[in-house]
Amino acid sequence: MTMLSPGSHRLPDLASDGAVLGALVEVEVAWVRTQERLGLVTRAVTDAVSALGATVGRAVDEIARDAEPGGNPVIPVVHALRRAVGATPGASTAVHRGLTSQDVVDTALMILAHRALGAALESLVRAADAAAGHARAHRHTVMSARTLGQPALPTTFGAKAAGWLGALDDAIDELRTVRASLPAQCGGAVGTLSLVEALTPGRALEAAEIFADEVGLVAARPWHTDRSPVTRLGDALTRTADALAKVAGDVILLSRPEIGEVAEPAADGRGGSSTLPHKRNPVLSVLVRAVGIEAPHLAATLHTAAALAADERPDGAWHAEWGALTRLLSRVPVAAAQLADVLCGLEVHNDAMSRNVRAVGPALVAERILQLLPSLPGGEALVPDVRDALRRGGSGDEVRALLAEGLDGRGPEGEALDARVDDLLDPAAYLGVAALLVDQALERHASHRDRAGSVTR
């Protein structure tokens, strides 16, 4: 938990120092198990390292302090493990044999990423299900669409929610794909597995595959200075943050009192102001949006580090990744959980949407009026006056009077003038394919749910 990342208590151990240390120890233990499967050590050695690794995993402050002399925390972890298992013959030698510090750190971070993406996916599925519910329930709820901050044309809240749903489902797809491809790192000192090959002639690549199996990741060629696994992970998290922040931004805008079309779910103590008792701040959406603002800069650090990954071991670029990646792993899943809460309890105010549509008046269907008017009997001559009235923000009564006065009484199909004017001014009659877009989004979401099954950490 961190005080200046409100909400971090929801998932406090995704990439905390304790979680990082635990993953480092987990990697070292997995490597000893790998050696056992290769016939290099006995079960007694594996059991000793597994049992005593837990004690090392609790020494967070000590390991953090001792990380500075070697530039990374693996060196003090290895020293502590070797001391702990020294009484078991062969155990001290087996610890870290054939690995390099980068193998351990990179693999540990991929383990943490696997868990963090699992947590994010659980919340994203919940958020997407809630967005689908809003899209379905408000398929025909007319509201004002806004472009550049101004009322534009009519749409439906269902179509807006369907847009949210599509972005959330895209994020789910991408995180699932990345999660399923997270690689273990196993290259040895310079990425050639030299010592492992010397210890087990002809079996070094098999050792890397066994190791990946032990840590639950994908076997891959060494990627010490090919940082695409890290940038791919960072990009997926950042695009997820983009999608979350877009929805949060919409909620913030639509919940302004002068608009009032939605509101975050109420909860005791949430949304209050330290000095203004009348306020109901959309705090969860604000926090989600903050992650969306922060994430691209973290991803940029990962890309810069990848570009500067020199020789066979980066001299500072690798180190620069750690803070950026762990920040993304900590922040994005929490933002997903916060947005899921927002959407699951979102208050939708249909009456405010109707009020705002009426307030805009005929200007909301100006495009339709000006497009269709010339084709109506007597309509072409009305275009200049009607255009002027719409530009001035003329009232519905003014525009209706112009139309009623200038249009011929009956159209070619014999429909009454009033009916034609009503239809021309009706926002619900100018929604394009909004309903079809809702249906498409819901169909896609349903197929995703059928294919995906459950998400586990």
Amino acid identity, position 315? D
Q: Which of 248, 243, 228 is nearest to 172 (CA)?
A: 243
Q: Which of 253, 252, 281 is nearest to 266 (CA)?
A: 281
Domain ranges of the chain: 113-183+223-360+432-457, 361-429
| CATH 2.60.40.1120 correct for 113-183+223-360+432-457 | no
The pLDDT tens digits along the chain (457 residues) read 788 899 999 999 999 999 999 999 999 999 999 999 999 999 999 999 999 998 888 899 999 999 999 999 999 999 999 999 999 999 999 999 999 999 999 999 999 999 999 999 999 999 999 999 999 999 999 999 999 999 999 999 999 999 999 999 999 999 999 999 999 999 999 999 999 999 999 999 999 999 999 999 999 999 999 999 999 999 999 999 999 999 999 999 999 999 999 999 987 655 554 454 555 899 999 999 999 999 999 999 999 999 999 999 999 999 999 999 999 999 999 999 999 999 999 999 999 999 999 999 999 999 998 998 888 888 888 888 888 888 887 777 888 888 887 786 555 554 566 787 888 899 999 999 999 999 999 999 999 877 665 444 4
Going by the DSSP 8-state scheme, the letter that residue 349 receives in this structure is -
Burial class (CB in 10 A: 0-12, 13-18, 19+), 273: exposed
d(CA 170, CA 311): 36
Say which of 181, 273, 375, 447 is annotated catalytic. 273
Say which of 37, 203, 280, 313 is annotated catalytic. 313
Active site residue 273: yes
Residue 147, helix vs strand vs coil: strand
What are residue 218's DSSP bridge partners? 183
